[in-house]
Amino acid sequence: MATTALTGFSMMSLLSLGYLTWDLMSPNQVENEPDQTFVNRSPIPQPPHIIFIMTDDQGFNDIGYHGSDIRTPVLDKLAADGVKLENYYIQPICTPSRSQLITGRYQIHTGLQHSIIRPRQPNCLPFDQVTLPQRLQELGYSTHMVGKWHLGFYKKECLPTRRGFNTYFGSLTGSVNYYTYNSCDGPALCGFDLHEGESVAWGQMGKYSTHLYTQRVRKILATHDPQSQPLFIFLSFQAVHTPLQSPREYIYPYRGLGNVARRKYAAMVSAVDEAVRNITYALRKYGYYQNSIIIFSTDNGGQPLSGGSNWPLRGRKGTYWEGGVRGLGFVHSPLLRKKRRVSKALVHITDWYPTLVGLAGGNESLTEGVDGYNVWEAISDGKESPRLEILHNIDPLYNHAHSGSLQNGYGIWNTAIQASIRVGDWKLLTGDPGYGDWIPPQMLPGFPGDWWNLERHTAPWKSLWLFNISGDPYERFDLSEQRPDVVKELLARLVYYNRTAVPVRYPSEDPRSNPLLNGGAWVPWVGDEEEDSWFRVYQKKNKDWKKRLSKSRSFFWRLNKRIMSNRI
């Protein structure tokens, strides 16, 4: 590794992060790993080994090559030698991004268009969907998943090992403690959540998850023969999702950051950077690298309240502004035809399904009906992307915008409904897209109040926006009033997509899911023979509840306004 990429670290910091110990045992290394030298076998076998690495809640400004204060020399080097995807889109929260990666379909076509799958919900990835790992198994791959699942587990049929993965090691819920693997759905409902296959992995408690998951990937690489069978590994890191936890040695290089949350968050990103280094080392060591494709992607935008940064993009995790849906992504592979470049080709997370099936040797019949496109030629050869538009989502259950109406949508679309679509250069948002400020890197918990005064969004009573994203990637100039012709066209596209939508699957929470009733762990609690009831959408109990909620929101809105006014 070139030392010039590590400017700003002291020698002690470099050693503490492991960047100068390539051939020494690191915290991520597998114990008793076979001692082999780097292998470069030829001829290159086909199809390629695929390593898909996903981070959780890593923001657009949380990687070195975007000018971040967080140092990621390994990710920077891999991206620089590969193809950086700078027009790449994901979903604003966890479950939707993973479901779209695994199925190649928009949320409206799987019933997962509202929120996430909560631990107590009898819900999971629909059984009628043929998953990406299932297709790869059909094409001869050995498939493995390590890390965060978050696609439901109420039945055993929902588990990763029943949805196409030969092996699974990780957590089933959305957020766990990085050491104890305790996961809580509310203050008093907690359980253990680390699983080996379909069993609870009690014995692994106390090990930092980023290290533990990396060890498992290295073990898979060490024990598999790269010449006998192609390999697909989906490494879904828990990092850098809250809680903000990391070993102390990763925090030390960021001791100069005055913001505590940002300091801890940066340490977690550095731990991921080191983990990726150790995985790429193993790919070389065991003879995979020359015929491998490494894909790096985050699952959604960063959360500034927890140390993340999407600057200079607008919005944050959980919103349909660019800060919530524009993702970090790159591809690194010796198989790329045109390397060391930045791609502006339009790519969406659903595109990985047909792209990887195509690389594995599958024909188009295996991806019939998916919403993704095979974008390999756009990535590898620099050709135009076959994708011309992206449906970010239509969520009929999200809180309707008070100022929205069918009249505001020209009689075409009810703008009270949360929805967003991009067609060509144009992006349309309706309803309530979520928190819409631009948040500078220092505008994080613990900084002086006058930082809040840098950027403020002051037009809350809207329900329709239009932006030319190519010319205005930071969404500062709303053109909805100047270009009603474009607005009408995009509203018509929303109507088109909405006609293809399936009913929302968002069932009520099931008290039988309580870990106290299941040995202290989050595990499947419904028998496979029991009939599903996905049609039961969680309903507000009564109108009085709705009135109380409205009053509560009004109170906290006024309170927040007073607090913000005082700070400014």
DSSP track, 106-148 = -GGGTT--SS---TTSS--S-TTPPPHHHHHHHTT-EEEEEEE
Distances (CA, A) of 287 to 42, 129, 144, 213, 269: 10, 34, 18, 21, 27
Checking if the pLDDT of 10 tops 60, the result is no
CB 414 within 8 A of CB 405: yes
Q: Given the structure tokens 């620099």, which residue do they identify?
A: 382
Checking if the pLDDT of 149 tops 90, the result is yes
Q: What are the beta bridge partners of residue 227?
A: none
- CATH top-level class of 394-443+453-500: alpha beta
Which residues have C-beta within 8 Å of that of residue 213, sequence separation ≥ 6?
A: 146, 147, 169, 170, 235, 237, 238, 275
Residues 528-540 have pLDDT tens digits of 777 776 444 443 3
pLDDT recorded at residue 5: 34
Task: Summarize the confidence of residues 323-351 as an average pLDDT.
Answer: 97
Task: Summarize the confidence of residues 447-459 as an average pLDDT.
Answer: 48
Question: Is the backbone peptide bond immediately before 511 cis, with ω within 30 degrees of 0?
Answer: no
Checking if the pLDDT of 323 tops 60, the result is yes
Distances (CA, A) of 267 to 1, 3, 92, 238, 260: 21, 20, 23, 14, 11
pLDDT recorded at residue 445: 54
Residues 476-486 have pLDDT tens digits of 999 999 999 99
> Fold for domain 49-388?
Alkaline Phosphatase, subunit A (3.40.720)
Structure tokens at 334: 């010796």
Q: Given the structure tokens 């604003």, which residue do they identify?
A: 92
446 in helix, strand or coil? coil
pTM: 0.86
pLDDT recorded at residue 462: 92
The better pLDDT of the pair 538, 95 is held by 95
Task: Summarize the confidence of residues 483-502 as an average pLDDT.
Answer: 98
Least confident of 131-145, 273-287, 530-544: 530-544
pLDDT band for 186, please (50, 70, 90 cuts).
confident
Checking if the pLDDT of 46 tops 90, the result is no
Checking if the pLDDT of 513 tops 70, the result is yes
Checking if the pLDDT of 453 tops 60, the result is no
Task: Summarize the confidence of residues 521-533 as an average pLDDT.
Answer: 86
Q: Which of 54, 56, 71 is nearest to 242 (CA)?
A: 56
d(CA 534, CA 403): 31
pLDDT recorded at residue 348: 98
Task: Summarize the confidence of residues 122-144 as an average pLDDT.
Answer: 97
Least confident of 18-32, 312-326, 490-504: 18-32
Longest CA–CA span in the chain (Å) reads 71
Task: Summarize the confidence of residues 360-381 as an average pLDDT.
Answer: 96
Q: Given the structure tokens 């809580």, which residue do they identify?
A: 184
Instruction: Judge whether 49-388 and 394-443+453-500 match in fold.
Output: no
Active-site residue numbers? 94, 150
Per domain, the residue ranges of the chain are 49-388, 394-443+453-500
Checking if the pLDDT of 22 tops 70, the result is no
